[in-house]
Amino acid sequence: MTSTDDLAYQNLDPNTVLAAVESQGHACDGHLLVLNSYENRVYQVGIDNSRPLIAKFYRPGRWDDATILEEHAFALELAEGEVPLIAPIKDRLERTLFRHAGHRFALFPSRGGRPPNLEDPEHQRQLGRFLGRLHAIGLTRRYAYRPVLDVDTFGEASVRYLLDNEFIPADLEPAYRSLTIDLLQQVRWCYERAGTVDLIRLHGDCHTGNILWTDDGPHLVDLDDSRRGPAVQDLWMFLSGDRQDQETSLNTLLEGYCQFSHFNVTELHLIEALRTLRMMHHYAWLARRWQDPAFPRAFPWFNSQRCWEQHILDLREQAPLMAEPPLTTY
């Protein structure tokens, strides 16, 4: 199961990282900090007499150049629309994707911040306004290259990968196979209840780790998982607690969101369906990357008997949740 893609970072040593940054005309001061990123390799690089830069080295074989450049174009479009996010740095020829020693990379300004306080209603309103502005721009055009988040890409493909590559222990495979067939049918029913929804350009992985908060409010990082999907995908991960807590948070988010973008309330039928798809996709993502040495170090709990038993239990809990009525807006 080892592929050349899994081993592609083996020659990405500190000297190569510094040389790549300097190839774009930046004088490095020798300081290099590895940041927590597993899909790609990301570093904070010290620059002489200037703020550090963030260098992101893209995983070979995941996105082609056109797909990465489409992400960059969206980030620059958002920045031009004054949506606060970390956009890639252009060179003098207006390029944002570079190559060095066989690696593709991009450079970003370094910005600080803290996670949002999701228990603070004002933070929730600001976050809603922020996402409303993002989606108002996201719906103005479609992606040509980046994929759609749907039952096939996040659900069917994930289950198929785990089964085809024998990650599920043999004694758990019948239960997993039967359960996922039923759950994916329920996901489809959720989509049927939602009816026709717009598939817009999203952040796609909008959780507190990708929102940095400052005294001026939120700014966004990491559009690497940006794709087309329903707007609620960028909202539901900020909801937690029991049903009442989730409804309170949802309505506070929408107070801000609807100042800038219309929200189709039928998408609320999709929240638990999207949660189910994310759970499936997350485990398949770990499995696909398991030959990368960074993953067993970062996720030592994965791929054990206990891991798969718990995953099946967690998935089973989604069945009654998808059958419940959607959250209510005030």
CA distances from 314 to 103, 145, 155, 317 (A): 38, 33, 15, 5
Ordered domains of the chain (ranges, CATH): 5-109 (3.30.200.20), 121-323 (1.10.510.10)
Give the pLDDT of residue 2.
42
Task: Express each pLDDT in 114-127 by its tens digit.
Answer: 988 989 999 999 99
What's the rounded Cα separation, in Å, for the pair 88 and 96?
6
Give me the DSSP letters along 32-43: EEE-S-SSSEEE
Closest CA to 125 of 250, 252, 282: 252
**Are the CB atoms for 137 and 231 separated by under 8 Å?**
no
Q: Is pLDDT of 188 > 70? A: yes
Task: Express each pLDDT in 225-239 by its tens digit.
Answer: 999 999 999 999 999
Task: Express each pLDDT in 191-217 by its tens digit.
Answer: 999 999 999 999 999 998 899 998 888
Least confident of 184-193, 224-233, 290-299, 307-316: 290-299
User: How would residue 146 be classed by pLDDT, with cut points 50, 70 and 90?
Assistant: very high
Six token digits for residue 96: 């944002």
Task: Express each pLDDT in 66-75 by its tens digit.
Answer: 999 999 999 9
**pTM for this one?**
0.95
- Which candidate in 6, 222, 225, 292 is catalytic? 222
Residue 225 catalytic?
A: no
Give the pLDDT of residue 6.
52
Residue 182 catalytic?
A: no
What b/e readout covers 191-217, taking b as 16+ CB neighbours within 10 angstroms?
beebeebebbbbbbbbeeebbbbeeee
- Which candidate in 6, 150, 205, 234 is catalytic? 205
Average pLDDT over residues 86-109: 96
